[in-house]
Amino acid sequence: MKKAKTVYVCSECDYQSAKWMGRCPGCGSWNTFVEETYESESPAEKSSASRRQAMLARSAGEAEPQPLSSEALPDYLRRSTGIGEFDRVLGGGLVEGSVVLLSGEPGIGKSTLLLQICASLAADRKVLYVSGEESAAQISLRAKRLGIHGGGIYLLTETNVEKILSHAKKLGPDIIIVDSIQTMYHSESGTVPGSITQIRECAGVFINKAKSDGTSVILVGHVNKEGSIAGPKVLEHMVDTVLYFEGESRQNCRVIRAMKNRFGSTNELGVFEMTDAGLREVESPSELLLADRPEGVSGNCAVCVIEGTRPLVGELQALATPTVFPSPRRMSTGIDYNRVSLVLAVLEKRLGLRFSSSDVYINVIGGIKIDETASDAGMALAMISTIRDIPVPDDLICIGEIGLSGEVRAVSRIEQRIREGERLGFSKIAVPSRNLSKSKPQTKQETELIPIKTVFDLLKLLKSPKQ
């Protein structure tokens, strides 16, 4: 009879230990050990497994070295998924033989997006949708709600990877979608489904299927309470593309970011809007983010950031209220907390504004996240506006990076940012003076470019509450 064996495995580097340790000796990470229980193999089973692996290695054959310029090297074929925003994040479309890992919070809309992708791909290709979490009736109900008839979509509710590959061999699909990888299990692995070993082994099986047959595979991954993908960190290294589906479940805006892409850029951003009929592509995200912008309210400023090849104008709000506690509260949503603290320190040191006696809240409207430093000037202007209770002009957009000395530094692709601001109706655009000293960008006749050199120039933008 097989004996159960317990080991502790590091989720970052797969280091194994007989006992739990706070710090992993392999990678140095803290609190990453997860307990796993599996049935130990007998010597005969171990010998059989080693012989089986040797046979698989011999059947695969040995690779021969080829010159990089050889015409015999295969070219990757990229095909559109029919959803422009998803193609943008992928780098132009889904590459044959690639493996994409899509992760996101529960209820964010991953299954809805995958069904819509299936409907587009099934027009000329065969799609196998494998579900390990929902029944066929549940998926059919969602498909009817989305208006998907499923001509070339084949549904399989199974969690055993051997059976899934057997069905895939008979069907011969062009795309396999697995929802989700945490529910899959391999019968030859003695651990429970969802464990680190099972996730790694099952992902490896689908990756081998994609690379050997040229089948595109999309894996859905869960996220843990820290917001990272559940399972071993090596899972992100194994796949070709890692996508994060972001957004607040109670808001309509959804964002897809590429954290890793071997076939494209990792700076692209796809924006969707959740509706009753599913996810709708947003071709102009700036208009969606500025749709309900208030007028004549202090602490509100528009900023322009670059996400990949696309300029994005968002609304940044700040609120400062007096506090009676010795340690004021700082809260930021959608923007880096450390960046907020840095800008607050600069304003308090250079301009003498007393933020140390106020609670400060920063929020980016729409549920998006801004990580570009070009939003520093707009954030600082919103903070000055709320502490003095003077509104920022509604037709003003502020662009620039702030240094520790209070200077406003130049940013890249200023022409593209200005054009986006003009398209949305902003007639006053505050830009770093160094951007204007190099070459003055071409603007409309009614557009006013306001140079800003230091944070003192931001005070001049707040002339009167009646503006």
Structural tokens at position 433: 């003076």
Structural tokens at position 15: 């280091």
Give the 3-state secondary structure of residue 44.
Answer: helix
Which has the closest alpha carbon to 153: 121, 183, 178, 111?
121
Structural tokens at position 183: 């529910």
CATH topology for the 78-283 domain: Rossmann fold (3.40.50)
Q: Do residues 386 and 298 touch, judged by C-beta distance below 8 A?
A: yes
Dist CA 161 CA 177 (whole Å)? 13
Q: How many CA atoms lie within 13 A of 317 on its CB side?
A: 16
Structural tokens at position 415: 């022409």
C-beta atoms surrounding 325 within 10 Å: 8
C-beta atoms surrounding 457 within 10 Å: 18
Q: Do residues 179 and 136 touch, judged by C-beta distance below 8 A?
A: no
Look at the block and give the residue holding tokens 């502490």: 387
Q: What's residue 318's pLDDT? A: 97
Residue 249 pLDDT exceeds 70: no
pLDDT tens-digit map of 80-96: 998 999 999 998 899 99
The helix (H) or strand (E) run that includes residue 88 is helix 84-90
Q: Mean pLDDT, to the nearest integer, of 405-428?
A: 93
Q: Do residues 414 and 441 touch, judged by C-beta distance below 8 A?
A: yes
Q: Mean pLDDT, to the nearest integer, of 216-231?
A: 82
Dist CA 285 CA 291 (whole Å)? 10
Give the 3-state secondary structure of residue 12.
Answer: coil
Structural tokens at position 376: 């520093």
Radius of gyration of the chain (CA): 27
Query: How far is Cα of residue 349 from the mean position of the Cα atoms in its chain?
Result: 35
Dist CA 108 CA 402 (whole Å)? 34
Which has the closest alpha carbon to 115: 279, 281, 242, 240?
279
pLDDT tens-digit map of 124-146: 889 999 999 899 999 999 998 88
Residue spans of the domains in the chain: they are 1-40, 78-283, 287-459
Q: How many CA atoms lie within 13 A of 194 on its CB side?
A: 7
Dist CA 27 CA 362 (whole Å)? 35
Dist CA 419 CA 424 (whole Å)? 9
Dist CA 131 CA 459 (whole Å)? 57
Q: Mean pLDDT, to the nearest integer, of 450-465?
A: 87
Dist CA 304 CA 377 (whole Å)? 10
Going 217 to 133 to 115 to 280, the CA torsion angle's sign is negative
Q: Do residues 91 and 261 touch, judged by C-beta distance below 8 A?
A: yes
Q: What single letter denotes the amino acid at residue 313?
A: V
- Tell me which architecture the domain covering 287-459 has in CATH: 2-Layer Sandwich (3.30)
Q: Please, what is the average pLDDT of the chain?
A: 86
Q: Mean pLDDT, to the nearest integer, of 318-325?
A: 93
Most confident range, picked from 156-170, 184-198, 243-257: 156-170
Dist CA 136 CA 145 (whole Å)? 14
Q: What's residue 47's pLDDT? A: 46
Look at the block and give the residue holding tokens 């006749």: 445
* Inter-CA distances, 112 with 140, 275, 278, 280, 423, Å: 12, 11, 6, 11, 32
Q: What's residue 467's pLDDT? A: 44
* Inter-CA distances, 60 with 51, 53, 326, 381, Å: 14, 11, 68, 62
Q: How is residue 65 annotated by DSSP? A: P
Which residues have C-beta within 8 Å of that of residue 467, sequence separation ≥ 6? 391, 393
Give the 3-state secondary structure of residue 39.
Answer: strand
Q: What is the pTM of this model?
A: 0.77
pLDDT tens-digit map of 269-303: 888 988 888 899 988 888 888 888 998 899 999 99
Task: Between 56 and 322, name the one with better pLDDT.
Answer: 322
Dist CA 105 CA 95 (whole Å)? 25
pLDDT tens-digit map of 95-121: 999 999 999 888 888 999 999 999 988
pLDDT tens-digit map of 327-343: 999 999 999 999 999 99
Residue 13 pLDDT exceeds 50: yes
